[in-house]
Chains A and B, each alone.
Chain A
């Protein structure tokens, strides 16, 4: 028990613990936020479920990117495969989650094995391009699957059924699925924590640090890199199966290369090679994506009001013209990314103080 509480002795540990508590208890205080008029309960839970699921995907990418030094630019392909597995099975009337999820995870692992076995023979830009190429290949397979909606995607009429344990309608469904996603995220974080600190993780991280030396010590580095690649693919496939359930919809867009890029951004933004970094990154990225436009509008309205009071309304154009600037919110997001990369190399995670060793 003492070991479990030691993280609380550092600010970094306390912030992480607080964040996990806030996330875990959201279903219980969301009604209160709703009543206070801050945010609708349903909206908050739906948005945060998406954050949790993509955080799982980002944590899986961090295993190979942050701990293994493998810049996979096609990681969203496993989200797609996991999602399509659930969607296609549901389409054919197989709704049993105990079948859907293991299959989604297993197929993703197999796909990662194939992609990894070929891509990991290359390094640097070639590796990035190969992983991207494989993901795009699967993306176009998805586009070509006319029977499952092709480009338009496929609506899932019923979510995965886990022996009837999960509520199937109304707010209960949303709350239950949020809790499931949270529990899965915590389990995945725990799993990755064990992995990267076990012998396997030391071999993987050593290989990232200096592969030649690891070979000179007798490590068959390719095997450890490949194993990590497969584990990451499997976890990401799980995230895909969850995401399909969350949106009740699958489409090739789930595995578009820009989605893979988003995952990389989450990992870099949050902190590569830090256990909780991808979670911070997913939260920051998705919340900025969600709220930056309205935040910008708020700031622009305030600025417009202030300046027009001084210079007169006619001189600076209408408020509407100003508000249209908010459509370019992605420029602001890009600027934040650049600032993080330039001034906070370890991502958001590094802002909470230096990690204790290990």
Chain B
């Protein structure tokens, strides 16, 4: 069995009376695509926020590569190789698409206390940036401001930025949110190509995509992990059917 890359131990996060993460335990193995599914309000995005360091859990432990990262700030986690994309598109709108990915590369190369040479003329930033855009199919939009990209293109850029950090674990928060069928298919294609090369924790509502991509699936309901297993196991799981899949079928 592959080694565990990310380990979550009885994580708890409360917002007032609401328990958004309820003694949640989870592990992501190196090399796998681990999907996280669950109805709206199950606490998926809250979990991603805690894993990426934007939200402090009330209790519990997060271990990445055997190292306790529970208290580590977001930027430091990225430098360890854990990067995320956002459910609500979060690109730098004033910058071009290429600037956006070049900034990810810039962060990956270390500190930015370099005050003299033009960053936009720096091939060591621009070339990997172009490659990252190429990979998500955005090369033709490289020099357009991110704000002028279509919704689908911004989603692609969002993923390109997370990937350009060259993470060992990629946290993808609904990469296909709000995409049309064609754009979705393209994103699934992209994620399929990445499969095996990168470990991914994928939140997604598109069940076809999830069952096509995931090696293992964890089902979250009211902040709790009610089941973890292969797609086939999850499909056969009674608790999951009643809690989630049944709901989706009737809805």
Contact = CB atoms under 8 A, between A and B. Distances in A.
Interface of A: 194-195, 197-203, 205-206, 209-210, 212-221, 224, 227, 357-358
Contacts of A195: 115
Interface of B: 52, 54, 73-76, 78-79, 83-84, 86, 90-96, 99, 102-104, 106-108, 112-120, 122, 125, 143, 161-162, 165
A199 B114 contact: yes
30 contacts: A194-B118, A197-B119, A198-B114, A198-B115, A198-B119, A199-B112, A199-B122, A202-B102, A202-B106, A202-B120, A203-B106, A203-B112, A205-B94, A209-B95, A210-B90, A212-B54, A213-B90, A213-B92, A213-B161, A214-B107, A215-B75, A216-B52, A216-B84, A218-B78, A218-B83, A218-B104, A218-B108, A219-B107, A220-B73, A220-B76
- Report which residue of B86, B91, B103, B120 has the largest number of chain A beta carbons within 10 angstroms of its beta carbon: B103
Contacts, number: 101
A213 B79 contact: no
Contacts of A201: 119
Nearest to B91: A213
Nearest to B162: A216
A199 B84 contact: no
A72 to B, nearest CB: 20
Given A203-B112, A210-B93, A214-B92, 16 more contacts: A198-B118, A199-B112, A199-B119, A202-B120, A209-B92, A209-B95, A212-B90, A214-B107, A216-B52, A216-B78, A216-B84, A217-B78, A217-B165, A218-B75, A218-B104, A220-B75
8 closest residue pairs by CB, A with B = A218-B78, A218-B107, A203-B112, A199-B112, A199-B114, A215-B74, A217-B107, A209-B92
- Report which residue of A215, A224, A227 has the largest number of chain B beta carbons within 10 angstroms of its beta carbon: A215
Contacts of B115: 194-195, 198, 200
A217 B112 CA distance: 12
Contacts of B54: 212, 215-216
Contact of A216 (B90, B99, B120, B143): B90
Contact of A210 (B74, B92, B119, B120): B92
- Report which residue of B54, B73, B83, B106 has the largest number of chain A beta carbons within 10 angstroms of its beta carbon: B106
B112 to A, nearest CB: 4
B35 to A, nearest CB: 21
